[in-house]
Chain A
Amino acid sequence: MDIEVTQTGATAGAQRVGRRHLLGAGLGGAALSLLPFLSGRARAEAAPEETTTVPKAPTSDDIALLASAQQLELTVRDLYDSAIAAVAGWSDTQAAVMVAIREAHEEFANSLSGLLGREAPGTRSDSLFDGQVGSLAGTPDEALMAAAELESGAVATHAEILGALQSFNGAELIAAIQMAEARHCTVLAHLADSRDYAVLLVDEEAASLQVNG
C-alpha cells in the first residue's frame, strides 16, 4: 500500500535521501558503534604484560634442570631395582615398601617426562648409579638405612633445583616429588628399626647428589 503525502515548498526536492547516502550513513554508524568495543579490546590485550613475569611453562634453563631431575629419579629407581634383587632376607613388609618406593621414583620420572616432552633424557646417570650401587647392600636393615640416606640426598638435590627453577609448573612438580621423598626417609629408617628422632626426622640432610650424564 502506498501512502501519498503532498508536500509543498522550495526545499522539498533537496530532502530526498538516496540509497548511497543511506548506505554511507549506515556504515558510518556501524563503524562508530564499534569504536568503544575495539578500543576496550586493545586495552584488554595490553593488560597481561603488567600482571606477572614468572613463567608458567619451563624456560630453556628450567629444561636442563628438570632433565637432570629426571635422570636422578631414573637412577634412584635402578638403585632400588639393584637392592631389591641383591639383598637377601627382605621381610614381606620391607619388600612391599621397597617396591612401592621404587615405583614412586619411576612415576616421578614419568611425570618429569610429561613436562619435558622431547627434551626428556629418559636415561639414568651412570656415574651416579656406579657411585651409589655399592652402598645399597648388606643386610636388609643396612640397605634400608642406605636407601634412607639416598632419599635424603634426593631431597637435597631437589632443593637445589627448586632454588634455580623459574617456572611455576616445574617448581610445583619438583616440590610434590621432594615432599614424597621426605616421607620416604622416615619410613625407610623406621623400617630399619631406628627409633632415634634425629635419624627419623633427618636432622642432618645428606649432601645433594651429582647427576653427571
Chain B
Amino acid sequence: MDKSNSPIVTASFDRRGLFRIGGLTVAGSALVAACSKSQAGELGRVGSGEDTPKLEDGIVDDGVLLRTSASIEHSIVAAYDHILSSGVLAKDSGTFPNLGDQTELVTLLQAHHASAAESFNALAVEVGAEAWECGNPRLDAIFLDTFFTRVEDGAEATDAAKAIEASDDALRDMINLVYTLEALSAASSQALVHQVTLPSTRVAAMGIGVRSARSAALVALAINPGGYLPGMNPEFATVPSDPAASADGPPQTEIPLPVAIASRFGSVAPITIISGRGDENGVRLKLIFETPSLNSLTYSFDSCDA
C-alpha cells in the first residue's frame, strides 16, 4: 500500500481533547447508570440451614388498637383478682395507717374493668378484628409479674447483689398499684382518641377512660386524704422506721403520694410506681407504666394461646 496517497490525520490530545474525553465519559456513565437495573445478587451460603423466617407485618389498625385496650383491661382485672385473693387489703398498713379496708372499692373497680374489656372487644369485633380474651402479654410479663414477685417474695441473691426480702408494707404497694392501673386505664383510653379513626370509637373509649380517671382520683384520696391538688399535702409518704433496715443502713427510696388532680389536662404521660423493700443500697423497685405502643400491641397474628 502506498502510504503517500493515504490521508494523514493528526489527533491531538491537548487540553481540549482531554475535556472532550472527560465529558463523554461522564455523560456515558450517567446514561448507563440511568438505563441499568441494579440488583443485588443473593448472598452465598455454606451448608443447608433453614431459611430465615419471615416475620409477619405488624399492621396497626383500629382493630389492633381496640383489642390491645381490651388486653390492658383484662390484665387489670387479673391483677385485682390477685390482690383481692391475697387478702392484703384487709390488713394494716404502717405507711398509711388510716387507709382502711379497700376491698369493696377494688371489687367495684374490678367489675368496671371487666365490663370495659367486653366493651373494647365488642368494638374490635365491629371493625373486623378478633376479640382478645386474656391479659396483655407485655404488661403482664414485664410489669405486673415483676411487681408481684418483688413485693411478695423479694429477690434472690445474685453474684453481684444480696437477696432482697419481701416488701416492708405490702398493702402500701398494692394500693399504689391500684392507683397506677386506674391511671393507666384512663391514659390508655385517652391515648386511643388520636389513634382510632371513627368518632364513635373515640366516644366509647373516653366513656371508659372517664370512669377510670374518676377511680384514680378516688383511690388517690383514699391513699392521700386531702391530696386534692399537687402541693397540698407532703409529696412523699412518711415511711415508718423499718426494723429490718438498721439505723446505720442506707435510706430507702421515697415513695411519692398520688394526687387526685395530678395535672391540669388529662395526661398520657408515663406513670411511675416505686414499691417493695429497698436493696442493699436502699433502692426500691421502680416501674414506669406507659400507654400501649408498638411493642405492647396485640397484633392480628398474636393470640392468647401463644
Contacts and interface: CB of A to CB of B under 8 A. Distances in A.
B9 A8 contact: yes
A79 to B, nearest CB: 18
A8 B34 contact: no
Interface residues of B, number: 57
A25 B9 CA distance: 24
Interface string A168-188: 100110011111101111110
Taking each of A26, A29, A179, which has the highest tally of chain B beta carbons within 10 Å of its own beta carbon? A179
A183 B23 contact: no
Interface in B220-258: 221, 226, 228-229, 232
B202 A162 contact: yes
A28 B31 contact: yes
Contacts of A17: 20, 24
Contact of A179 (B34, B209, B232): B209
Interface stretch (B68-76, B77-85, B146-154, B210-218): B210-218
Given A17-B24, A29-B30, A162 B7 contact: no
A107 B266 CA distance: 13
Contact of B108 (A171, A184, A197): A197
Interface stretch (B120-128, B157-165, B167-175, B193-201): B193-201
Interface in A185-204: 185-187, 190-191, 197, 200-202
A183 B202 CA distance: 19
B305 interface: no
B10 interface: yes
Given A8-B6, A17-B24, A175 B193 contact: yes
Interface residues of A, number: 63
A153 to B, nearest CB: 13
A6 B7 CA distance: 10
Interface string A1-39: 011111111101100010000100110111011111000
Contact of B27 (A26, A93, A184): A26
A96 B232 contact: yes
B6 A9 contact: yes
Interface string A150-175: 00000100010011111010011001
A133 interface: no
Interface in A60-83: none
A22 B20 contact: yes
B27 A183 contact: no
A175 B30 contact: no
A54 interface: yes
Interface stretch (B11-19, B49-57, B133-141, B294-302): B11-19
B228 to A, nearest CB: 5
B63 to A, nearest CB: 16
A75 B152 CA distance: 50
B8 interface: yes
A104 interface: yes
Nearest to A32: B34
A97 interface: yes
Contact of B202 (A12, A163, A177, A187): A163
A165 B10 contact: no
A86 to B, nearest CB: 22
Contacts of A101: 261
Contact of B31 (A5, A29, A36): A29
A117 to B, nearest CB: 20
Given A5-B11, A12-B9, A35-B34, A202 B202 contact: no
Contact of A178 (B6, B13, B104, B210): B210
B203 A159 contact: yes
Given A97-B229, A104-B264, A180-B265, A201 B211 contact: yes
A19 to B, nearest CB: 8
A162 B31 contact: no
Question: 6 tightest A-B contacts by CB?
Answer: A179-B266, A29-B27, A33-B30, A12-B9, A29-B30, A176-B265
Given A33-B34, A172-B194, A202-B211, 14 more contacts: A6-B9, A29-B30, A33-B33, A163-B199, A163-B200, A175-B266, A176-B190, A176-B265, A178-B206, A179-B206, A183-B260, A186-B217, A201-B214, A201-B215
10 contacts: A5-B10, A12-B9, A29-B34, A33-B33, A93-B232, A162-B199, A165-B202, A172-B193, A172-B194, A190-B228
